[in-house]
Structure 1
Amino acid sequence: MVSNSTHSRHQSAEGAPACPVVHLYSREVDDGRDRLSRFYRVPLVVNPQLTDLALFRVGLHGAQVGPTAFGLISFGGATALHTPAQHNLYMFYGARASSIVLSQSGIADTYSTHGDGHIATTDSRVPIMARFDTGAELFAVSFDRAAVDTELEEELGHAVSPLHFPSSLETDIPSQRTYKGLLALITDEVASPTGLLDRPAVADRLGRALLTTMLHSAQHQYADELATPLPAGPHAVRIVTAALHADPAHPYTAVELARLAGVSLRSLQDAFHRHPLGLLPPLPLRHLLPPTPRSPALPTPAPLTARDVPPVRRPLRAGAWLMADTGAEVLVAPSPRVR
């Protein structure tokens, strides 16, 4: 089969590939598979339907956005895409044109149709077969599990187990509105780049915002705990303070201190405000805490003039002031204000 593929990355002003946005188009099965696999860092298998082999094509507009891989994938003819078990990713899908069916052994099929207002989820620890109709287009979002676990543990203050999502997330409900909006923003930027994702700082923060929003809006076993975090009491403050005193040379981070106290980072920060016990917050927490209110600064006293000097009981020589502590006279140049 003749290859007809392109693969491009936006270039920085210096000519180096500084942008995470990737565009590819291929009419060759092996070439398309290899490019998709490299982008998602997953060994994929592309299996076009034999009757549609002449129509086969694959296109990808993708971006590595912080801890997230986001891609818009399109197929010409009917195609199946096989993804092996992945223990390091959480994956979400949604049809932008036509429909897709996601099948996993021992799990009911998940469907996504353009305009149905749902995002399909899968258990990435089980192999996935996605079937696409002719002309199908989808977005596929994968979150790095290590980044998800770290974010969740920082929020909750304890270790977490792998997340379990429902097979479909309804995006038209209020709790999903922000997540849907971020997905739409990234979709538009990837499909028609403006250069925003050329900047690593923007891409990283946008990806982390998407990850955090997903955690707080999607249904999973920790959703209720995230919505109502338990406040930390003075016991947490004492634990952290004792640890710092016991080993003052240890370079604790704020996250480590929160885990040590068994509370979330936000709860520990709040605990030092509500239960300071007369203690200054530990150095790792100070830059994360709002400044402690201080008493208003006393006004700077105006300099004394001759008019402010109280009258003396004995005559002074012209141009002399009386020193209050010694009673000695000090000669000074006469001032035009003292006459």
Structure 2
Amino acid sequence: MDGMVGPAAPLDIPVHVALRTRDVGEARAFCQKLFYGPLQVTPVGDCSGFAFFGDVVMLGPVTVGEISYGSDVHVNIADLETAYHVLAPITGTLRSRHRGTTVLADQTRAAVYRPIGAIDLDWPGDCRLLSVKIERAALERELDAALDQRIVSPLLLGESFDLVDGPGRTWAALVRLLHAELCAEDGLAREPRMAARWRDMVVSGLALTVEHPYGDEPAGLQGPRRPRTVKRALDAMHAEPWRQFTATELAAVAGVGVRVLQESFRQHVGQSPLAYLKRLRLDGVHAELSRSDPWQVNVSEVAYRWGFTHLGRFAGAYRNRYGISPSQTLRERR
């Protein structure tokens, strides 16, 4: 398995999908397929003007869509689970409720959503917005690497940020440009190397823009700084999560003995190196199944790509972590 091509390589190829429709069910299915399965769209009042427009680009762990409905709708989404999300209106005002907090998002302020907690949206017909989905593992890995310290998952992000001044303005402009370039057939962002760099800027830019408790003054949730030995092992696992690492190999990468590395991981990560690697792989499989078409992939090939060679043990571990089977996760994308 060491020499196999990792799952990240094809994800740098951008995908562009668009839809215009007056059919509510068709619009709902489009959003469920490209964003989240547990999403419901309910027209409010007179829906004769319903005219959905969705123009979505997907680039690895980042999905950006320009979305509007043309008439007032109510949108409800259960726990996102696998992603963080930002809604940034281009026109109109969106009323958002998430985890007990109400946010009025407009051209001056974006709404932010964590993986846990239902989302309730009052979406007026005049509201057109950028919907930005970033896979949970990608944002958490970026913040973890930037801070070089233990973080709490899911991230305790602020519920909104400013789009007029500061980093929020820059991040929103970057997202708009990325979306426009990927929608164009001949844009520079369609070159895989450029696309990958742009993708990384969107992820790292959000980590630097949104509020979180990992600033200069920790809010009691910040773990101890991780030593370089632990960081080296983590970097190796994130670079090649499908590789069949042994504890001895990871200790060699870290430059310490096996017992020292295991003790350091228990102290600074909260679990053993191989337990961390297993969780990393499971999260990778879950994210890929959650965004894949059931008729294009099967569970076993995704599991093998992420380094699972014993499908029975993999299925049991997956169910223990997510509460459902891998095949159920894939079927929910229909």
1:223-234 maps to which residues of 2 (within 5 A)?
223-224=215-216
1:313-324 maps to which residues of 2 (within 5 A)?
none
TM-score (ref. length: structure 2): 0.59
Give the equivalent residue in structure 1 for 2:53: 59
Give the equivalent residue in structure 1 for 2:141: 150
Structure 2 counterpart of 1:20, from 6, 15, 19:
15
Give the equivalent residue in structure 2 for 1:140: 131
Structure 2 alignment gaps of length 5 or more: 1-12, 219-224, 233-245, 269-334
Give the equivalent residue in structure 2 for 1:274: none
Amino acid at match of 1:155: A
Amino acid at match of 2:95: V
Q: Provide the aligned C-alpha RMSD in A.
A: 3.8
Q: CA deviation at 1:77?
A: 1.1
Give the equivalent residue in structure 2 for 1:74: 68
Amino acid at match of 1:29: V
Higher helix share: 2
Mapped to 2, the partners of 1:253 and 1:37 lie a distance apart of: 44
User: CA separation of 1:185/1:141 partners in 2, compared to 1, >3 Å: closer, same or farther?
Assistant: same
Mapped to 1, the partners of 2:255 and 2:175 lie a distance apart of: 32
SS at match of 2:126: coil
SS at match of 2:139: helix
Aligned: 1:29 with 2:24: yes
TM-score (ref. length: structure 1): 0.59
Mapped to 2, the partners of 1:133 and 1:252 lie a distance apart of: 56
Contact 1:20 1:197 in 2 (8 A): no
User: CA separation of 1:181/1:237 partners in 2, compared to 1, >3 Å: closer, same or farther?
Assistant: same
Contact 2:229 2:254 in 1 (8 A): no
Aligned: 1:108 with 2:101: yes
Mapped to 2, the partners of 1:179 and 1:239 lie a distance apart of: 28
Structure 1 counterpart of 2:214, from 187, 200, 222:
222
Contact 2:83 2:114 in 1 (8 A): no
Mapped to 2, the partners of 1:248 and 1:107 lie a distance apart of: 43
1:182-232 per-position Cα deviation (integer Å, ceiling 9, x unaligned):
123124325655434433433332122111111123211123379xxxxx9
Mapped to 2, the partners of 1:49 and 1:109 lie a distance apart of: 19
Contact 1:156 1:225 in 2 (8 A): no
Aligned: 1:173 with 2:165: yes
Q: CA deviation at 1:252?
A: 6.2
Contact 2:54 2:65 in 1 (8 A): yes
Q: CA deviation at 1:42?
A: 3.0
Structure index of larger Rg: 1
Aligned: 1:87 with 2:81: yes
Amino acid at match of 1:56: F
Mapped to 2, the partners of 1:256 and 1:47 lie a distance apart of: 57
Q: CA deviation at 1:60?
A: 0.8
Amino acid at match of 2:204: T
Structure 1 counterpart of 2:110, from 104, 110, 119:
119
Aligned: 1:201 with 2:189: no
Contact 2:70 2:126 in 1 (8 A): yes
User: CA separation of 1:57/1:146 partners in 2, compared to 1, >3 Å: closer, same or farther?
Assistant: same
Structure 1 counterpart of 2:93, from 65, 88, 99:
99
Amino acid at match of 2:173: G
1:320-339 maps to which residues of 2 (within 5 A)?
none
User: CA separation of 1:237/1:95 partners in 2, compared to 1, >3 Å: closer, same or farther?
Assistant: closer
Q: CA deviation at 1:135?
A: 2.8
Q: CA deviation at 1:249?
A: 6.0
1:38-71 per-position Cα deviation (integer Å, ceiling 9, x unaligned):
11143311111241x2211211111112311111
Structure 1 alignment gaps of length 5 or more: 1-17, 227-231, 241-246, 264-339
Would you say how many aligned residue pairs link Structure 1 and Structure 2? 235
Q: CA deviation at 1:149?
A: 1.7
| Percent identity of paired positions between Structure 1 and Structure 2 | 19
Amino acid at match of 2:249: H
Higher relative contact order (CA 8 A, sep 6+): 2
User: CA separation of 1:32/1:146 partners in 2, compared to 1, >3 Å: closer, same or farther?
Assistant: same
Aligned: 1:131 with 2:125: no
